[in-house]
């Protein structure tokens, strides 16, 4: 469970915008929540408060507390948070620590001192789950944008975190790669992971999200059920600074099978 308790955050005088105010939010275990809103509204900050980049990396003025299964993010070291929360960013290159895909998948486990046998088992399972056999043994610099995002998703889940946080993961992807991302999200949902995603592109998430939160000027202005959000006209979405839905090119989200 993710629990925001009257949380406010600002990045300080040198950075205007992107902060949040008086956020109270509970995300239940296994729930898929979509954050949307105009650029600079505070979506990214909310994701950073879950994975610990705020306040452990990005400093500023923080009030309130964020709890993950009862543990304060502020009081939990980043290396412990890494085992609890997997993160996928807008630009996958920003989260790579190695130059080849095999090393990238192994990195998190090695960094936390996992036994080699356990690491190999986790990598084998991850490669199978994400259908990335053809990407192994390759330089990350030789991958396409979609292939990089596949490796980013896979490496973020090697530690089997219960929570997945994504910040604009489709921004640099073409239609085929977005369909692949959709399959990954569907897999995580089948596995019972708690998913929090900040996005401008909405069409590929319409039947995956359990709730949609509209963020404006640092506050959660409105919460929608999927049916309520589906019923908004394209004109209303445009007024809200959101992209319209276009569902004609979707593929069924059933290609990946969840291991139990």
List the chain pLDDT tens, one digit each, 260 residues.
999 999 999 997 655 578 999 999 999 999 999 999 999 999 999 999 999 999 999 989 999 999 999 999 999 999 999 999 999 999 988 899 999 999 999 999 999 999 999 999 999 999 999 999 999 999 999 999 999 999 999 999 999 999 999 999 999 899 899 999 999 999 999 999 999 999 998 889 988 999 999 999 999 999 999 889 888 887 888 888 887 655 543 455 665 666 55
Scanning 101-247, the segments in alpha helix (DSSP H) are: 101-111, 116-130, 145-157, 175-190, 226-230, 234-239
Instruction: Determine the pLDDT at residue 234.
Output: 79
- Tell me how far apart the alpha carbons of residues 1 and 194 are, in angstroms, rounded to a whole number: 8
Instruction: Determine the pLDDT at residue 129.
Output: 93
- The model's pTM is 0.91
What the chain holds in terms of domains, given with CATH numbers, is 2-96+161-239 (3.40.50.300)
- Classify residue 198 as left (phi > 0), alpha (psi -120 to 50) or beta: beta
Instruction: Determine the pLDDT at residue 124.
Output: 97
- Tell me how far apart the alpha carbons of residues 32 and 41 are, in angstroms, rounded to a whole number: 20
Assess contact for 34 and 25: CB atoms under 8 A: no
DSSP string computed for 171-193: TT--HHHHHHHHHHHHHHHHTT-
- Tell me how far apart the alpha carbons of residues 82 and 156 are, in angstroms, rounded to a whole number: 9
Residue with tokens 């609890």: 84
What's the chain's length in residues? 260
Instruction: Determine the pLDDT at residue 250.
Output: 47
Instruction: Determine the pLDDT at residue 252.
Output: 59
Nearest to 36 by CA among 247, 189, 229, 193: 229
CA 223 to chain centre: 19
Instruction: Determine the pLDDT at residue 243.
Output: 74
Parallel, antiparallel, or unpaired for β 219-224 and 85-88?
unpaired
């Amino acid at each position: 469970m993710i629990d925001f308790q009257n949380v406010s955050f600002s990045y300080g005088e040198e950075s205007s915008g992107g902060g949040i105010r008086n956020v109270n939010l509970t995300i239940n275990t296994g729930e898929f929540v979509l954050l949307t809103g105009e650029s600079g509204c505070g979506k990214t900050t909310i994701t950073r408060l879950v994975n610990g980049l705020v306040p452990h990396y990005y400093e500023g003025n923080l009030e309130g507390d964020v709890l993950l299964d009862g543990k304060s993010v502020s009081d939990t070291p980043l290396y412990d948070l890494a085992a609890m929360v997997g993160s996928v960013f807008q630009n996958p290159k920003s989260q790579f620590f190695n130059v080849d895909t095999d090393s990238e998948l192994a990195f998190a486990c090695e960094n936390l001192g996992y036994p080699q046998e356990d690491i190999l088992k986790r990598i084998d399972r991850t490669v199978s789950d994400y259908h990335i056999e053809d990407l192994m043994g390759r330089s990350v610099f030789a991958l396409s944008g979609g292939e990089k995002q596949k490796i980013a998703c896979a490496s973020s889940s090697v530690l089997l975190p219960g929570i997945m946080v994504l910040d604009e993961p489709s921004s640099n992807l073409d239609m085929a790669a977005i369909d692949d991302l959709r399959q990954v999200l569907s897999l995580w949902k089948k596995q019972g992971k708690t998913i929090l995603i900040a996005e401008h592109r909405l069409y590929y998430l319409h039947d995956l999200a359990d709730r949609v939160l509209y963020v404006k000027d640092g506050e959660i202005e409105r919460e929608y059920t999927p049916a309520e959000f589906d019923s908004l006209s394209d004109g209303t979405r445009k007024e809200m600074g959101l992209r319209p839905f276009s569902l004609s090119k979707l593929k069924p989200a059933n290609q990946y099978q969840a291991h139990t």
